[in-house]
Amino acid sequence: MPHPHDHDRVVLAHGGGGELMNQLIRDHLLTPLRNDALIQLGDGAVLPPSEGKLVFTTDSYVVTPLEFPGGDIGRLAIAGTVNDVTVMGAVPTAISLGLILEEGLPFEVLDRIVATIAKTAEEAGVPVVTGDTKVIERRIGRDGSPGDGLFINTAGVGTILPGCDWSIGRIEPGDVILVNGPIAEHGLAIMSVRNGIEFETSLRTDAAPLNHMLHTLFKSGADVKFVRDATRGGIAGVLSDIAETQSLGVEIDEQSVPLTPTARHAAEMLGLDPLSTANEGKVVCVVDEADVDKAISSLQSHQYGTKAAAIGRVVESDPPLVELITRAGGRRVVQRPYGEELPRIC
């Protein structure tokens, strides 16, 4: 006979601070995420002394559905936090994990997601050292649909690499724009699932921790001016920031932008622009023209950069614009999306 307190789903009492909450933490969180810092169950984590400037970031994840081709909200949260620290020119050292659970969330779903969190943190080499859980009443949408089931908040800490200066203010005309691989796959994969669209070659999220790849780029000696992960708003958002902040133009060659045929087809069917569609494993790098080959070679040496490519350059422009040079030789202005083109994708 099952114990009267055994549950296969989250209930409100799992957030009440009593024995059920202890069971939730012990059975579903501590075991897969186990490390010396987390096992203390303190109100925080004591971090080792830092020899350089610290980077601190925080983010929240509300993706629907929780699980999608190639990943889930857990991989998204850890990879996104690691990448946010890394693109600041830092080595990520620790992550906090806050879980907001809706009552009714099956434990088998929670366990899969926490296992993914543990696996992604291990891949990145960045431990989850502290965290928190809250349980909220199940929400029902206006259309009668259930709530999302799980939200995640993270914070990440890292230390700046000695001599690393990936700041937007260093960008100047003549610099070259690189990306580390095919764009738009995360947003398109999620939207395809939501719309029940299947493709001959299944679209999968590109969510991945990029710290090892970017540290290899730093060690290559290439003069990297600026790095930014192209999440919400896609590469269009990053390039628009460059143009506006530096009062410079950016020219992108459409033929050079990595985009798989499946992603192009999906974007056409869904009416989306791949340039402004979200990524979770792609970065835009701005590199001195003299070091382009060195930088591309460094990126291509890593599994998440094998299809890295130069896609354009920074130019003098008045007014400062991002322009796409089309396959036909024409030009069109590229702008960041006005609103949220893809709701709940990260």
Containing 314, the helix (H) or strand (E) segment is: strand 309-315
* pTM of the model as a whole: 0.89
Query: Are 119 and 179 part of one and the same domain?
Result: no
Helices (H), 63-153: 73-86, 107-124
Where a domain ends, among 111, 132, 160? Answer: 160
Query: pLDDT tens digit string along 226-277?
Result: 999 999 889 999 999 999 999 999 999 999 999 999 999 999 988 889 999 9
CATH number of the domain that residue 308 is part of: 3.90.650.10
CATH number of the domain that residue 60 is part of: 3.30.1330.10
127: in domain: yes
Query: Are 114 and 197 part of one and the same domain?
Result: no
238: in domain: yes
Percentage above 90 pLDDT, the chain: 70
Q: Is the pLDDT of residue 3 over 50?
A: no
Query: Are 43 and 148 part of one and the same domain?
Result: yes
191: in domain: yes
Cα–Cα–Cα angle for 202, 205, 210, rounded to 5 degrees: 140
Query: Are 111 and 30 part of one and the same domain?
Result: yes
Query: pLDDT tens digit string along 285-316?
Result: 999 999 999 999 999 999 999 999 999 999 99
Query: pLDDT tens digit string along 62-117?
Result: 998 899 999 999 999 999 999 999 999 999 999 999 999 999 999 999 999 999 99
Domain that holds residue 156: 12-160
Q: Which residues contact 104 (CB under 8 A, 6 or more apart)?
A: 9, 10, 138, 146, 149
77: in domain: yes
Residue 174 — pLDDT band, cuts 50, 70, 90?
A: very high
Rounded CA gap, 346 and 343, in Å? Answer: 8
Rounded CA gap, 335 and 262, in Å? Answer: 24
Structure tokens at 107: 């434990």
Rounded CA gap, 9 and 75, in Å? Answer: 22
6: in domain: no
Q: Per the structure, how many domains does the chain have?
A: 2
Query: Are 210 and 79 part of one and the same domain?
Result: no
SS3 279: coil
